[in-house]
Amino acid sequence: MVTVYLVLLIIGVGYAIISSFGIFDFDIDFDLDWDFPILSPIIIASFLTTFGGIGLFLTYQNNLSPTSVIGISIGISVLAALLIFLLVVIPMTKADRSTAKAANEMIGKTAEVITVISKKDHGEIIYSQGMSRLSAPALSLEDKRIEPGSRVEIVDVTGGTFIVKKL
């Protein structure tokens, strides 16, 4: 059983290290009629890491039976995963949703091009929202080149990229 704990601990820690460098950028969402991803990779990795670490620790530090070690490890791992879900995943999901909503509110508004938008390549626009001036990537609706300093209308938002047409 020690090997299982060690492998799970290594997988969890390895995933945390690799994902911190942005190498893994995937998501597995089982929403279960919620608006929050319950079985996201961060939750699964935190469960595996905690289960492996606690199992390994209890195996070497106590005279507990293997069944007790598994039970305690599962209980603590579920608690750790739940805490990460409540303290990390939910706030990140809410922040992401509010950013997307704010971007969609800009449809129909004007902006200024600050880096050239070529036929098929992203450029950058700057726009005002509330009391803030923000910048964002942009593509041309008509696949036309738009020079810096040009005024554009935001017609759509796709994946965080504004779709604009020249005024």
The verdict on 36 and 117 lying in the same domain is no
pTM, two decimals, is: 0.54
pLDDT tens for each residue of the chain, 167 residues long = 889 999 999 998 888 788 777 655 554 444 444 555 666 778 888 999 999 999 999 998 878 899 999 999 999 999 999 998 888 877 776 655 555 556 677 788 889 999 998 877 888 999 887 777 888 888 888 878 888 999 999 898 887 788 898 88
Specify whether 96 is located in the same domain as 17.
Answer: yes
What secondary structure does DSSP assign to 56-72, as a single string?
HHHHHHS---HHHHHHH
Residue 28: per-residue pLDDT:
47
- Do 52 and 91 share a domain, yes or no? yes
Do 96 and 131 sit in the same domain of this protein? Answer: no
Identify which of 95, 78, 9 has the alpha carbon closest to the alpha carbon of residue 39.
78
Q: What pLDDT is attached to residue 5?
A: 92
- Number of domains, the chain: 2
Predicted local distance difference test score (pLDDT) of residue 113:
92
The predicted structure's pLDDT at residue 31: 46
Residues 134 and 57 both lie in one domain: no
Residue 61 and residue 135: Cα distance in Å, rounded? 54
Same-domain check for residues 15 and 91: yes
So what's the pLDDT on residue 21?
A: 73
